[in-house]
Amino acid sequence: MTSLLRRVPGPSGPSWRCLGAILRGTHIRTSHLIQREGARMLAGVGIPLAAYSRAHRRWQHTEAAGRAEVDLRRLEEGDDGIVEVMMCQHKARNALGHVFVSQMRELVSTLSDDSSVRVVVFRSLVPRVFCAGADLKERALMNNSESDLFVHGLRSLMTQIASLPMPTIAAVDGVALGGGLELALACDLRTAAYSAQMGLIETTRGLLPGAGGSQRLPRTVGIALAKELIFTGKRVGGQAALEMGLVNRAVEQNQTGDAAYREALSLAREILPQAPVAVRMAKEALNKGIEVDITSGMAIERMCYAQVIPTRDRQEGMAAFIEKRPPRYTGE
């Protein structure tokens, strides 16, 4: 699906849309995507595809061919290096169904090996919704084993997003519940509109967070607060999310309903001028160091620091400082 990557003007330029129409009539049809990506997803977590076949056949009969539920766009001009992952499943409110998850996995895989990408912004094109969480209509077609296998693959997707080497930002302009909040938590940074609603509501459905939320939420807001939010299934708005550290920035919603996206873009633009290799190594040092004791963390920092010493960007940074000019980083 690398054909989904396209270069268009920035937010002030022409409007854009999902690429469902472009995909129609090509070899990338949804049924084929299910087969290929379903096999890859399950193989990636050590699960045989045969166990998935019955629910998989149901999805094949119910999903329309050629529909893009997730799309990418690369910004240009002064924003070159920022890539947006756009969720555009209007009918199901970006619910985490099989096709959505498969397409997201494909696009995230494409980004992971792209050294030209400096910041990724995850946003929704569905008004007042970031991601509504589980696709309950699909889940209703699964038996217990199939449901467990699917959530296992969903957990793997969130880990894939969290493992992207460049900074990621979730722009929460609307509802982010259950798996929707887990997707946002898999990103490094989060912005939200005050009107947004966020929560891990799984206990209200007889479940618990299963796509990383039980692990990432306490690492974000602390164990006591995470327990309160998960035990009660409480939903919080953008202001409360900011106060508890769930999001980095919160803003009043605007008339176009994309205030959190605009704030995420502003944050991405603050990251963009910095040395790309240094930023990536800083992310690795932070992510790996937080999981170990301080002594081991220092060793991780040393290894990451060693990666930036021989770069041209480090030399450029020193030269720019001495010459009293802005640095011109190339990512080398």
| pLDDT computed for residue 135 by the predictor | 81
CB neighbour list of residue 211: distance below 8 Å, 6 or more residues apart: 96, 151, 154, 155, 157, 158, 179, 182, 183
Could you confirm whether 182 is annotated as catalytic? yes
Tell me the three state secondary structure of residue 29.
Answer: coil
Q: Which domains does the chain have, with CATH numbers?
A: 2-271 (3.90.226.10), 276-323 (1.10.12.10)
- Residues 55, 95, 132, 134: which is the catalytic one? 134
Residue spans of beta strands (DSSP E) within the chain:
70-74, 82-87, 119-124, 129-131, 168-172, 175-177, 189-193, 197-199, 249-251
d(CA 160, CA 97): 17
Q: Which of 52, 143, 130 is nearest to 98 (CA)?
A: 52
Tens of pLDDT, residues 150-168? 889 999 999 999 999 999 9
Residue type, 233: G
Could you confirm whether 78 is annotated as catalytic? no
Report pTM: 0.80
- Residues 63, 84, 138, 182: which is the catalytic one? 182
Residues of the chain with pLDDT under 70: 1-66
Could you confirm whether 332 is annotated as catalytic? no
Could you confirm whether 179 is annotated as catalytic? yes
Q: How far is CA 237 from CA 20, 53, 154, 197, 215, in A?
A: 33, 40, 25, 5, 21
Tens of pLDDT, residues 161-212? 999 999 999 999 999 999 999 999 999 999 999 999 999 999 998 999 999 9
249-251/189-193 β-pairing? parallel
- Residues 38, 81, 97, 179: which is the catalytic one? 179
Q: Please name the residue that has the structure tokens 């008004």.
A: 127
